[in-house]
Amino acid sequence: MSGTLVLVRHGQSEWNLKNLFTGWHDVDLTDKGRAEAKAAGEALKKRGLRYDVAFTSVLIRAQKTCRFILEATGQGDMEMIEDQALNERDYGDLTGLNKDDARAKWGDEQVHVWRRSYAVAPPGGESLRDTGARVWPYYLRAIQPHVLRGETVLVAAHGNSLRALIMALDGLTPDEVVKMELATGVPVVYRLNADSTVASKEILD
């Protein structure tokens, strides 16, 4: 029995628009972000997908994205399972800073290392590896069992929490995952085999 796993990064947030490090700060979607989330819902609906269970983070931008996607299939009243394990990477001392201002303060090279390395965390924050260390166990414990039962599972979360998950699903190396881009509001649809390996992957862009 093959199950379906749908991953969607939240639509554009207010701090995405302002070019700020967001992390765990709880900011809302922009008008564009809401439109992206609704478009993701419609694209998934056209694939004939309906959801048995939906997971999201404790942050409003992911929760609203999840709700818009569920509403597209008339499932807007479905209970969402919220867990901070799916939260965005914690940017620590960078949170709230404009990315250009951060480069002026610490230099292009240092900010690039904090943003794009796999194992180096910004001051007071998490690396991508740290993010994966909370995402992977949660996926195995809470999400994967639904997929392996043949269910269709929606996960609306964040750029780095989803990159960590995709790293595991696709078998990416640390060098490969830091180069991977994940656009806001673009669904990634996996079909999994009964042994949890990936049968197919489709990006609905």
- In the chain, the percentage of residues whose pLDDT exceeds 90 is 97
What pLDDT does residue 2 have?
A: 80
158 in active site: no
What pLDDT does residue 1 have?
A: 62
Q: What is the pLDDT of the chain when averaged over all its residues?
A: 96
Distance CA 57, CA 98 (A): 24
Please name each of the domains of the chain with its CATH number: 3-203 (3.40.50.1240)
The one catalytic residue in 88, 126, 146, 158 is 88
Please, what's the largest Cα pairwise distance for the chain?
53
Tokens of 50: 């309906």
Alpha-carbon dihedral 89, 63, 137, 91, rounded to 10 degrees: 10
Q: Name the 3-class secondary structure at 6.
A: strand
Higher pLDDT, 40 or 178: 40
Per-residue pLDDT tens over the stretch 104-162: 999 999 999 999 899 999 999 999 999 999 999 999 999 999 999 999 999 999 999 99
Note the helical H segments in 139-184. Answer: 144-148, 159-170, 174-177
What pLDDT does residue 88 have?
A: 97
The one catalytic residue in 10, 36, 126, 146 is 10
Query: How many CB atoms neighbour CB 119 within 10 A?
Result: 10
Judge whether residue 194 has pLDDT over 70: yes
The whole-model pTM stands at 0.96
**198-203 and 188-192: which strand pairing?**
antiparallel
What pLDDT does residue 45 have?
A: 97
The band of 205, judged by pLDDT with boundaries at 50, 70 and 90, is: confident
181 in active site: no
The band of 96, judged by pLDDT with boundaries at 50, 70 and 90, is: very high
By the 8 A CB rule, do 177 and 166 touch?
yes
What pLDDT does residue 15 have?
A: 96
Per-residue pLDDT tens over the stretch 4-36: 999 999 999 999 999 999 999 999 999 999 999
